[in-house]
């Protein structure tokens, strides 16, 4: 069984990682408390309550962005650094920027004129997104948050899930994040029975752990043993992908990503982020 080298990962993050990811590592694998993670996330915050400043490395604008908000909340959650003040500010931003139907758009217009990944150009600035709405609502539910924005966003996400007939890997990853965390478990199980098979039926997942390119693996849809989507995959498939993930640690101690690198700064930021995420996932599956 392949195990990651935590000492080498620490050296990699010390050499090239953002303060945010060094603090995440120190919290998850070292002696640090939650405070430094909270402070590192807060440094990306704006006066309007949202988050920007390339917290999500592919959107490199100072203005608040939904994907940056999703990453901020997920980071606070994973580190046990949940901060009601930061979260309430974020909920205020979401309420003020909600489309007419509720939820949140995939991108905010504040990205215009700033460096960003080419695929951000196609993100809708007007309509609610099943991706960002699901990611944000799912994390808020994991912390038992109650707020008018979340109530509307949750019902909207349920509606968008019920209408899925064709989908994309990133949409289904967000849907699974939501379904794994929303408190109505009976409804979540029923929704998964309806949409979960699309992961296999539409070829969204790559079962070969050694496949190259920009792929999505079973661990992207079912990262932890309790994930609903684990039922789609044989245990030996999951174990093979965990072994492949552990073995993917690079010679410099870090992991890398499989989507296009469009900016040296974004690439460096993503490598630190995915390094901590790989280790977090491996630990959650008993591999470190």
C-beta of residue 77 within 8 angstroms of C-beta of residue 52: no
* DSSP SS3 for 151: helix
Residues in the chain: 288
**Tokens 């491996």, residue located:** 282
Residue closest to 191 by CA, chosen among 177, 170, 206, 202: 177
Instruction: State both tokens at 169.
Output: 């890997």
pLDDT tens for 96-124 read: 999 999 999 999 999 999 999 999 999 99
In terms of phi and psi (left: phi > 0; alpha: psi -120 to 50; beta: otherwise), the region of 68 is: alpha
**Tokens 């990682």, residue located:** 17
Residue closest to 110 by CA, chosen among 73, 60, 57: 60
Q: Read off the pLDDT of each residue in 195-212 and give the average, rounded to a whole number.
A: 97
C-beta of residue 130 within 8 angstroms of C-beta of residue 160: yes
C-alpha to C-alpha distance for 4 and 166, rounded to whole angstroms: 37
The percentage of the chain sitting over the pLDDT mark of 70, rounded to a whole number, equals: 100
If you classify domain 6-284 with CATH, what class do you get?
mainly alpha
pTM, to two decimals: 0.97
pLDDT tens for 156-190 read: 999 999 999 999 999 999 999 999 999 999 999 99
Q: Read off the pLDDT of each residue in 18-29 and give the average, rounded to a whole number.
A: 98
Instruction: State both tokens at 264.
Output: 């040296």
Looking at residue 224, the DSSP 8-state letter turns out to be: S
Please, what's the b/e burial string for 194-232 (b: 16 or more CB within 10 A of its CB; e: otherwise)? ebbebbeeeebbbeebeeeeebbbbbbbbbeeebbbbeb
C-beta of residue 257 within 8 angstroms of C-beta of residue 271: yes
């Amino acid at each position: 069984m392949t195990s990651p080298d935590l000492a080498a990962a620490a050296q990699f993050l010390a050499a090239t990682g953002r303060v945010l990811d060094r603090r995440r590592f120190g919290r998850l694998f070292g002696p640090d408390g939650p405070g430094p993670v909270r402070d590192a996330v807060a440094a990306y915050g704006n006066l309007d309550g949202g988050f920007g400043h390339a917290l999500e490395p592919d959107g490199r604008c100072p203005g608040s962005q939904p994907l940056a908000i999703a990453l901020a909340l997920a980071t606070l959650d994973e580190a046990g650094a949940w901060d009601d003040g930061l979260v309430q500010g974020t909920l205020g931003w979401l309420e003020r920027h909600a489309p007419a139907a509720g939820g949140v758009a995939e991108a905010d217009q504040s990205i215009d004129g700033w460096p960003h990944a080419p695929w951000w150009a196609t993100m809708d600035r007007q309509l609610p997104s099943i991706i960002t709405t699901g990611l944000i609502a799912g994390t808020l539910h994991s912390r038992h948050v109650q707020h008018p924005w979340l109530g509307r966003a949750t019902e909207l996400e349920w509606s968008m899930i019920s209408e899925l007939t064709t989908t994309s890997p990133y949409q289904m990853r967000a849907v699974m994040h939501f379904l794994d965390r929303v408190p109505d478990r009976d409804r979540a199980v029923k929704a998964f029975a309806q949409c979960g098979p699309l992961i296999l039926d539409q070829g969204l997942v790559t079962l070969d752990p050694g496949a190259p390119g920009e792929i999505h693996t079973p661990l992207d849809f079912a990262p932890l043993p309790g994930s609903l989507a684990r039922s789609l995959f044989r245990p030996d498939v999951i174990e093979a992908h965990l072994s492949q993930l552990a073995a993917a640690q690079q010679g410099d101690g870090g992991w890398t990503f499989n989507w296009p690198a469009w900016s040296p700064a974004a690439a460096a930021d993503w490598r630190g982020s995915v390094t901590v995420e790989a280790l977090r996932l491996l630990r959650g599956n008993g591999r470190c």
